[in-house]
Amino acid sequence: MQLEKLIEKLPEQAKDMKTNVMSVLTEEGAPDLTKKQIYQIAVASAYTLRDKALIAAILADARDVLSPAEMDAAKVAATIMAMNNIYYRFVHISSEQAFASLPAKLRMTAVSTVTGDKIGFELSCIAVSAINACGKCLDAHTQAITKAGASHLAIQSAVRIASVLNAVVIGLTIAENN
């Protein structure tokens, strides 16, 4: 695995991330997620975190697990949520209530054209929204995904993947700057 090679670069201060990352990217370490969902979430999270080494490692490992359509769904989740998280976070935290009643007027047709595992896509959107700290999007996608039958444990697993990958990026940054 390319990710295993990458995490060997983590410094002593991030040693827990070596264990955590190898755990959360397994079905045992990410309860209620399939291997495909785990890698969709990891791909979307890696793109959101913008670390080239992490992206390359995750993509290399994900190619053995995800179909091209599933890979595209992860990329759609990363890009569409990058836009939505900024916009809806603004609407949510603005003290001016008028913004909540204005139409977004943002094109989001990619969401409705994603093929494959819709729950995996929604979990990827939740992971990206957690990274980007958009409470409004977290609430909306949590409601949609639980209505579709996903468990709270699956949602927690998705967010755990995003949080650990974020910590890996910080660890790699520490290693590069020592």
Catalytic site residue from 44, 128, 134, 145:
134
Q: How far apart are CA 172 and CA 160, in angstroms?
A: 18
Catalytic site residue from 44, 54, 130, 137:
137
134 catalytic residue (yes or no): yes
Q: Which two tokens stand for residue 57?
A: 């490692």
Contact 40, 23 (CB under 8 A): no
Task: Give the chain's radius of gyration (CA, Å).
Answer: 16
Give CA separation, 165 vs 21, 33, 63, 80, 105, in Å: 7, 17, 18, 20, 32
Give the active site residues: 134, 137
